[in-house]
């Protein structure tokens, strides 16, 4: 990958920030050189409030110093050399294909120290009930202790002054998000944004630090300046799983904004003042879920202990790729699937499915004039190929409250045009055929599988253009491949249950091929001329074709060809045929090709690749 050109940070001119694009499985390890904390200016306060704030700051600082003493030593030996990215004072390492770190059980002494801190913060809040900073610390450290419901109750009855009233729904949104109530979190964050200063709200909505360096300049500038339509499209397309209620990547962004505000004026484990670099990394990767201590090496003079912060090691890049926020229908699955991205600009691990896999699920298009029917078979969850699969790690925290009642799969289409509604077809279980009618236009389609019990999900997402076809113009659908069970069906519904996701067959199998033709029935006495061939991609010819439709026709060498009368009324026409593979057929890659011709029309062609592989013999 080429070396990127540094450019100044938008928040502090002259400080280099290294922009680089893409995303892949990551856990950012941040190695900081401790600097003296910058004193925070304080407003005029009444003596009791000032004393309460001072007591709260002292207690919070003592806890973070205790954290440094109690966290484990750095096992990977991060040195600050060879950083994958440098952001201000921070060095970022990407832990994607490694097992450098996994969250360990917390030292009981640190747990007890946090309980003491929470008691001290509660006493300070009683003396200064309208103090925004103290309230934020209470919510954060209750959350660290796993007491998010208490944090939510606290946020809902915070009762701050009107100037700080936005802080209450922001903290509520944070607690709702972490506990998996994403729709409620979005509502709370909307309330906070409406109540805060317009310039501050514009900064909160900004996604500039999440964007890579690719994409159409005009659309990128629209995102950077906070254009509402561009932001809506960006966040809708960044939703990790349409099957899960709400948009958790959007609420994660605002939860990170809220978390960052609580760190202002607070001591942190890096023992350095909160600045633009820590803020940016929090927005890109999230808050730390674990820490390690890096002690000075032998003979070090003047050096002090520093910290390594870790994000969730299963994080992936879910923000929409440039091809999506460019409103392009030509984006491919490898641009969307977070597991295929190599260099992370940002990362996130959905709590309801931290194991997030790529899915192979091709979507077939059946044209219907001003609309089309999309057909797919969800294949169930694929094998877990992530690095941590099979490792004996401590279990993650309890799953969030996402309202899921069991495993589900779904097919979704989201128009790229502004204001388009999400089209959805869902069903229980982890696999099954789905069909969905969508209007003509440019879409992003998503095939999704989710098992809440195992906290695992998979998806295939890509751009898709559905062409508008005049009602009297013939259009041939994509080919549908299925296992042959029972008689050849005479309707699309009869084929769906036997569709295959991965078109791999063995010698001797019967391939059932189905398709639709739209735009016929406008000409009386029209004769349709079909030719179906199966040829090896290398150029050889498959020499045996089996049962046909039983219609009038003839055979042309090794191809299957027939003539049939066109329909007498307009409407889609469904056809299917079985092809028997010879038992002695050699393994290889083949192409099924269907051609349709009729007098006065140009030839229509559709094709689909299949793979022939012999089955492994079963053991005795």
Q: How would you classify the pairing of strands 290-294 and 604-612?
A: unpaired
Compute, in degrees rounded to 10, the torsion defined by CA atoms 292, 297, 301, 306: -10
Q: What is 473-620's CATH number, 2.60.40.3880, 1.10.510.10, 1.10.3720.10, 1.10.10.10? A: 2.60.40.3880
Q: Which residues of 255-290 are buried (b: 16+ CB within 10 A; e: fewer)?
A: bbbbbbbbbebbbbbbbbbbbbbbbbbbbbbbbbbb
User: Closest by alpha carbon to 268, among 253, 251, 281?
Assistant: 281
Structure token digits, residue 330: 């030509």
Note whether 78 and 31 are within 8 A (CB).
Answer: yes
Structure confidence at residue 376 (pLDDT): 96
| Residue among 243, 247, 217 nearest 234 (CA) | 247
Tell me the helix, strand and coil percentages in the chain, rounded to 5. 25, 25, 45
State the Cα torsion 199-204-210-212 to the nearest 10°.
-20
**C-alpha closest to that of 97 among 18, 147, 185, 25:** 25
Domains of the chain, residue spans: 26-310, 320-389+403-468, 473-620
The 3-state secondary structure of 373-430 reads EEEEEEECCCCCCCCCCCCCCCCCCCCCCCCCCCCEEEEEEEECCCCCCCEEEEEECC
339: Cβ contacts below 8 Å, ≥ 6 apart = 24, 25, 316, 356, 357, 358, 385, 386
Residue 334 near residue 23 (C-beta atoms within 8 A): no
Residue 48 φ then ψ, to 5°: -65, -40
Segments of the chain scoring below 70 in pLDDT: 1-47, 75-81, 95-100, 213-220, 296-305, 325-327, 340-343, 387-404, 537-558, 618-620
What's the CA gap between 217 and 532, in Å, rounded? 46
579: CB partners within 8 A, 6+ apart? 510, 511, 512, 513, 532, 534, 545, 546, 560, 592
Contact 411, 373 (CB under 8 A): no
Beta-carbon neighbour count of residue 352 at 10 Å?
23
Same fold for the domain at 320-389+403-468 and the one at 473-620?
Answer: yes
Smallest Cα–Cα separation from 361: which of 445, 295, 444? 445
Tell me which CATH code domain 320-389+403-468 carries: 2.60.40.10
DSSP conformation class of 598:
-
DSSP 163: G
> Residue holding tokens 């030839």?
603
- Using CB atoms within 10 Å of the CB of residue 340, give its burial: 0 to 12 exposed, 13 to 18 middle, 19+ buried: middle
Longest dimension (CA), the chain: 100
What pLDDT score was predicted for residue 551?
A: 36
Cβ partners under 8 Å of residue 58, min gap 6: none
End-to-end CA distance of the chain: 51
Q: Which of 471, 502, 497 is nearest to 486 (CA)?
A: 497
pLDDT of residue 148: 94
Q: Is the dihedral of CA 29, 31, 34, 37 positive or negative?
A: negative
């Amino acid at each position: 990958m080429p070396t990127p050109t540094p450019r100044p940070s938008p928040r502090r001119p002259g400080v280099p920030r290294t922009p680089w694009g893409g995303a892949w499985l990551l856990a950012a390890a941040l190695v900081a050189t401790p600097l003296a904390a910058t004193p925070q200016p304080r407003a005029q306060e009444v003596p009791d409030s000032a004393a309460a704030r001072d007591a709260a700051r002292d207690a919070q600082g003592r806890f973070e110093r205790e954290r440094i003493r109690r966290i484990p030593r750095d096992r990977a030996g991060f040195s600050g050399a060879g950083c994958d990215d440098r952001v201000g004072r921070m060095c970022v390492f990407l832990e994607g294909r490694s097992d450098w770190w996994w969250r360990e059980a917390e030292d009981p002494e640190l747990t007890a120290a946090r309980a003491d801190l929470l008691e001290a913060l509660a006493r300070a809040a009683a003396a200064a009930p309208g103090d925004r900073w103290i309230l934020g610390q209470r919510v954060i450290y209750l959350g660290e202790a796993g007491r998010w419901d208490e944090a939510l109750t606290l946020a809902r009855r915070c009762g701050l002054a009107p100037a700080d009233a936005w802080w209450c729904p922001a903290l509520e949104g944070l607690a709702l998000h972490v506990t998996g109530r994403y729709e409620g979190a979005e509502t709370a964050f909307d309330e906070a944004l409406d109540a805060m200063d317009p310039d501050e709200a514009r900064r909160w909505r900004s996604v500039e630090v999440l964007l890579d360096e690719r994409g159409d300049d005009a659309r990128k500038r629209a995102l950077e300046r906070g254009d509402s339509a561009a932001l809506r499209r960006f966040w809708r397309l960044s939703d990790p799983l349409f099957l899960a209620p709400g948009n958790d990547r959007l609420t994660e962004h605002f939860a990170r904004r809220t978390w960052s505000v609580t760190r202002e004026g607070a001591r942190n484990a890096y023992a350095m003042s909160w600045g633009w670099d820590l803020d940016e990394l929090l927005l890109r990767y999230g808050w730390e879920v674990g820490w390690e201590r890096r002690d000075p090496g032998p003979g070090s003079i003047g050096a002090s202990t520093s910290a390594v912060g870790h994000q969730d090691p299963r994080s992936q890049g879910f923000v929409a790729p440039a091809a999506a926020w460019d409103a392009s229908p030509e984006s491919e699955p490898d641009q969307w699937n977070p597991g295929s991205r190599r260099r992370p600009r940002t990362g996130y691990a959905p709590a309801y499915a931290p194991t997030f896999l790529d899915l192979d699920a091709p979507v077939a298009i059946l044209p219907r004039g001003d609309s089309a029917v999309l057909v797919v078979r969800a294949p169930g969850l694929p094998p877990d190929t992530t690095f941590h699969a099979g490792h004996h790690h401590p279990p993650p925290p309890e799953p969030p409250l996402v309202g899921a009642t069991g495993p589900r799969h779904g097919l979704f289409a989201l128009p790229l045009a502004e204001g388009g509604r999400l089209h959805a077809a869902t069903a229980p279980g982890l696999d099954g055929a789905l069909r969905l009618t969508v209007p003509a236009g440019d879409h992003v389609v998503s095939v999704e599988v989710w098992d809440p019990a195992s906290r695992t999900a998979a998806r295939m997402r890509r751009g898709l253009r559905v062409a508008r076809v005049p009602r009297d113009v013939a259009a041939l659908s994509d080919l549908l491949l299925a296992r042959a069970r029972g008689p050849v069906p005479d309707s699309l519904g009869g084929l769906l249950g036997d569709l295959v996701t991965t078109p791999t067959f063995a010698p001797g199998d019967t391939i059932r091929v189905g398709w639709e033709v739209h735009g016929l029935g406008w000409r009386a006495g029209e004769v349709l001329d079909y030719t179906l061939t199966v040829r090896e991609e290398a150029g050889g010819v498959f020499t045996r074709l089996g049962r046909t439709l039983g219609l009038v026709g003839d055979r042309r060498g090794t191809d299957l060809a027939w003539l049939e009368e066109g329909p007498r009324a307009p409407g889609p026409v469904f056809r299917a045929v079985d092809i028997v593979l010879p038992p002695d057929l050699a393994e290889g890659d083949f192409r099924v090709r269907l051609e349709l011709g009729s007098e006065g029309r140009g030839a229509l062609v559709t094709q689909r690749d299949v793979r022939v592989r012999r089955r492994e013999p079963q053991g005795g």
